[in-house]
Structure 1
Amino acid sequence: MDFRRTFRTARVDTGTGAAGPASRRTALRRIGLAAGGAALAAGAGAGTARAAERRGAGPRTYVLVHGTHSSGAFWMPIARELTLRGHRVVTVDQPMHGAEAFVPVAYQTQDLAALATEPSPLRDLTLDDYEKRVTDTVRRAARHGGPVVLVGHSLGGASVSRVADAVPGLLAHICYMAAFCPSPAMPSPDACTAAPENADALIPYEQMVGDQEKLRVLRLNPRSGAVKDLAAYKAMMCADYPDPAFRLALSGLQTDEPIGAYAGQAVGRPDTWGRLPRTYLRFGKDRTIATRLQDRMIAEADERTPDNPFRVVDFPDAPHIGPLDPAAVTDALARLGR
């Protein structure tokens, strides 16, 4: 089926061009690389300000969720610009990511034999842990800044769906940026990556370190100097980036992602997730979450809630981590809810 022909969505084309495991091979398909504010008026004016914020006017509160092997720092260029436009922005570090990141000793020393067996504290993390981190962040952000615009990239989309079920009343808008949006037919990130529409995705089978079934994490070595490894990472993440920009993006990756984050189900319920305004930022040159898979996820979501379809914003030339110049993506996020 050509899912691109089944959409019942509102589409915007940026027009800029910038805009449980059974086998090693099956399990490795879980990889999905990523990759100040304004206070409302007090007193009687606060209610008016919050009502305006719900309608998309005035400052908004954004909670931004990163993808696999990444951290909240992934969002920094976009977060900085949204903040300069007067919005409140929180970038989430999932457990044991970012400021809490685990750095294997063997990774620091580049002892590849030891890196293949060094235990990881991420091994017991699941999608439940990720949902809790994001839900707690949304609750705190909403307490001080009103309804939240929740955005997830890549694996972060599974958290968006879960949190939209958990606290729909705290969310003004949800957004998936080249992200997993599971459905009853593809209920988990694992199932999404195994879909035929993702057959053309580039999976780093040869770049995986150790036995991931024993480690219980998907382990990469972003510091690899092997030409073959660097070419594989670049093709997956950002094939058209100049090499200096690619190396900068690669430096932001961490080694481990728990298998449990991919195995958890994240199908939004029609009466909660399905009632929230939602947008999908569709990346046309994505080789990690293939564009055909993005199309299928959008179509299946719309079939479940035909009265509340996705608004799709197309970035025809964007790779998985987004356009080299993030201005068009920032503009799209700034318009959410308007």
Structure 2
Amino acid sequence: MTQSEERSEDQARRDDTTSDENSDRKTASRKGAASRRGVLLGLGTAAAGAALAATPAAASAPSRSRSPRGVCTYVLVHGTHSAGAYWMPIAQELTLLGHRVVAVDLPLHGARAFVPESYQRQDLAALATEPSPVAALSLDDYERHVTRIVRRAAAHGPVVLVGHSLGGATVTRVADAVPELLHHICYMAAFCPSPVLPSPDACTAAPENADALIPLGQVVGDPERLGVLRLNPRTGDPDDLAALWKMMCADYPEDVFRQRLGGMQTDESTTAYAGRAVGRTHTWGRLPRTYLRFGKDRTIATRLQDRMIAEADARTPRNPFRVHDFPTASHLGPLDPAPLVTALAGLAP
């Protein structure tokens, strides 16, 4: 590397650090002020079945000699209004191939989900105002939770970190925090913010996402007052159901859509959508990364996926995304998980 290149890289690191510090000072004031359009466009991840919970604890640096060749641990991070159980079909197949899998429940999701009392009673008037502890969550909380899991997993061998939808922002934050613990990072129709689009909100408000579906009529209450984007997955309104179906998985049979809808959670933090998630070139940017591109996504539009890939590659031209294209996949992914399993299995060492 020439002296000029070294000076440029040093400057880039200082710029990244300064930007991160400025962002941290602004975090508190941004709570609850996320763009309604940005938050709504981020919707779409739904879980089904029982949650695959993980209770993390601190661990020492990894000892990778314990893992057989070709075997690794996949740490899978769900998206908005979802839980670790979203990954169940993929996790099962990866396990049968001999890998270890941790399908993460983010804080107050999955096995520890917050369920509004008024939601249980289907009192929609009360549901519009009932406070939610989810409002206090941020990307900092998600990052810390997943980083603890990665530390434990890395003690047993290589780790592949995968995020779907909103989970991509957490993947970036974790990769930036502990790149030395990760073998590969993967974004599955997920947010990959950049300096130009630094948060999930900014990504979803981009012109490339203009064709995404916005379920304005399905939101319960005021997201800015509640601090959460609240939905009612138990709705019986045919218009609401049709809107959610188109947005999440228009290609799925109706009975499968109902299954996915049954696993959704009511609340997701608006602060998480507003959080900065820009990886630094010398940490996140040095890791091998893959993007699973969904060609009929109506939540994170395919053109937005392409822009995020291009902006990441422009920042680290010597380490571009490896892209796997799924041209007929909607936001929840192909109904048959086999092609996704094949792509993910190929990320193992």
Residue 130 (1) aligns with residue 142 (2) = yes
Q: 2:169 aligns with which of 158, 182, 204?
A: 158
* Alignment-mate amino acid for residue 284 of structure 2: W
Residue 267 (1) aligns with residue 278 (2) = yes
Residue 215 (1) aligns with residue 233 (2) = no
TM-aligned CA distance change 1:23 to 1:168, over 3 Å: closer
Structure 2 CA distance for aligned equivalents of residues 28 and 147 of structure 1: 34
> Equivalent residue of 2:259, what SS?
helix
Residue 232 (1) aligns with residue 243 (2) = yes
* Alignment-mate amino acid for residue 121 of structure 1: P
Name the structure 2 match of 1:121: 133
Identity of aligned residues (%): 71
Q: 1:102 aligns with which of 81, 104, 114?
A: 114
Name the structure 2 match of 1:139: 151
Offset from partner CA, 1:27-83 (integer Å, 9 cap, x none): 5445332139xxxxxxxxx86665xx7xxx521110000000000000011101111
Residue 62 (1) aligns with residue 74 (2) = yes
> Equivalent residue of 1:152, what SS?
strand
Q: 1:247 aligns with which of 251, 258, 274?
A: 258
Q: 2:337 aligns with which of 311, 321, 326?
A: 326
Q: Tell me which protein shows more helix as a share of its residues.
A: 2
Question: Is the CA contact 1:29–1:190 (under 8 Å) kept in the aligned structure 2?
Answer: no
TM-aligned CA distance change 1:305 to 1:249, over 3 Å: same
Q: Which runs of 5+ in 1 are unaligned?
A: 1-19, 37-45
Q: TM-score by structure 2 length?
A: 0.84
Question: Is the CA contact 1:146–1:170 (under 8 Å) kept in the aligned structure 2?
Answer: no
| Count of equivalent residues | 304
Structure 1 CA distance for aligned equivalents of residues 66 and 142 of structure 2: 31
Offset from partner CA, 1:284-314 (integer Å, 9 cap, x none): 0000000000000000000000000000000
Residue 76 (1) aligns with residue 76 (2) = no
* Alignment-mate amino acid for residue 267 of structure 1: V
Name the structure 1 match of 2:19: none
Q: 1:256 aligns with which of 241, 245, 267?
A: 267
Structure 2 CA distance for aligned equivalents of residues 269 and 296 of structure 1: 18
Structure 2 CA distance for aligned equivalents of residues 326 and 233 of structure 1: 21
Question: Is the CA contact 1:28–1:203 (under 8 Å) kept in the aligned structure 2?
Answer: no
> Equivalent residue of 2:183, what SS?
strand
* Alignment-mate amino acid for residue 163 of structure 2: G
Q: TM-score by structure 1 length?
A: 0.87
Name the structure 2 match of 1:185: 196
Question: Is the CA contact 2:38–2:205 (under 8 Å) kept in the aligned structure 1?
Answer: no
Offset from partner CA, 1:203-246 (integer Å, 9 cap, x none): 21110001111111000001101000000100010001100110
